[in-house]
Amino acid sequence: MQRVFITGYGIVSPLGGDNAENLKSLRNGTDCVSPVTAFDVSKTRCRTAGQVTDEWLKEPMTRKNRRLDRSSLMMLQATREAIRTSGQFSPEIMVIATSSGGMSNGERFYRSLIEPTGRVGAAQAVANYMAQKPVLDVQEKFGWRIPAQIVSNACASGTNAIGHAFQLVRAGLYDSVICGGYDPLSELVFTGFDSLQAATPDKIRPFDRDRNGLVLGEGAAVLALESEKAAAARRATVLGEIVGYGVSTDNYHLTQPDPSGIGPKLAMKRALADAQLDPASVEYVNAHGTATVFNDATEGKAISELMPGVAISSTKSMMGHALGGAGAIEAVFSLLAILHQFIPPNINFRQPEPDWRFRVVGNEEEPAKIKRVLSNSFGFGGANATLVLQAAH
């Protein structure tokens, strides 16, 4: 049973195009949700999202780079940051999550079949539609020829990918893994959430008594994981450690969680048991916190029962919900909380539900002594996943 160290991280999200900008926006509680510009939203209730600025994804102009999709560009930027922070890191395998992959390219292809302009760009759209395409583009850019595993399990995907990579290293199957997740904004997915009336035209307010829906986001984040012996052999700087991973499936409803909170509660209990930790040893929970009425109620009930008094926040309040990429992004945010000893804010927060027994850190960051963080991700179909991250020691 190998210890699993985090030796590098990289992120691009609506909060910023690199690690430093994400940390700055996270600490400042910057609201990075803005009017959608990628497609027409004139007929939807919700018209905002967390968007990654195109300027952050600029690559040197070559014939090959012109063919890269936004998903690939986000993955390239996140991986570049992870390699920069980890030093001479050489992965043996990639484990990457997404929920919709290149869905926007699928839309482009099918629309080309009925548009009078014909199939101009159709081949490129099909090529970028595959969920593994951004991973292959990263491998080509860095000269890697290694296995790749793609995890797609709704909004738990990012946490599942990191959890699976953690298990691979801990079991001694691999010594070095690049893991994480990505998801771009997609018109089909955006209008789907809007038609479910899960998206809000208002501010996103996780864990607020008057919350009324989520806002979508996008981005990519990756972690460099190494076994203790591999990190020691190259004298890598250890930034943190993953010590636990738990999953559950409640099978209650296609889109709604079991109101008892049993799914999230089991995932958190199993993650803590996997880490051989007591719930009281965790200082902060980076909650899934989508700001929908049902999700926050379910997660709130589970946290109240398992970890009364703990400090929580939802960083989705600042950037929206990046779906399959959310768990990876929030794992990086959890690592930043440990590295810089603060609890990220839960912006737009006004007042909690009266029955909840935890403390929401709202609107401004809070300095705190943090050794351990729980990071939650819960998805449609009752997919629940939790990671336990710990400070390096």
In a domain, 390, yes or no: no
In a domain, 345, yes or no: yes
pTM here is 0.96
In a domain, 175, yes or no: yes
CA–CA separation, 372 and 388 (whole Å): 7
pLDDT in tens, 229-246: 999 999 999 999 999 999
- Listed as ranges, residues in the chain with pLDDT below 50 are none
- Range of the structural domain that residue 250 is part of: 4-382
* Amino acid 253: pLDDT: 82
In a domain, 43, yes or no: yes
In a domain, 73, yes or no: yes
* Amino acid 237: pLDDT: 97
* Amino acid 63: pLDDT: 62
* Amino acid 125: pLDDT: 84
Catalytic residue among 32, 164, 179, 321: 321
Catalytic residue among 32, 46, 155, 179: 155
The CATH number assigned to the domain holding 375 equals: 3.40.47.10
In a domain, 183, yes or no: yes
* Amino acid 164: pLDDT: 98
Give the type of residue at 309. Answer: G
Q: Where are the alpha helices (DSSP H) in 55-181?
A: 70-86, 103-112, 122-129, 133-142, 157-170
CA–CA separation, 158 and 99 (whole Å): 9
Catalytic residue among 32, 46, 179, 288: 288
* Amino acid 168: pLDDT: 98
* Amino acid 61: pLDDT: 59
* Amino acid 252: pLDDT: 83
In a domain, 265, yes or no: yes
Residues sharing a CB contact under 8 Å with residue 367, sequence separation 6 or more, in sequence order: 341, 342
CA–CA separation, 216 and 46 (whole Å): 10
* Amino acid 2: pLDDT: 94
164 is catalytic: no
321 is catalytic: yes
* Amino acid 10: pLDDT: 98
* Amino acid 64: pLDDT: 67
In a domain, 387, yes or no: no
Domain tally, the chain: 1
* Amino acid 100: pLDDT: 79
**Residues 271, 242 contacting (CB under 8 angstroms):** no
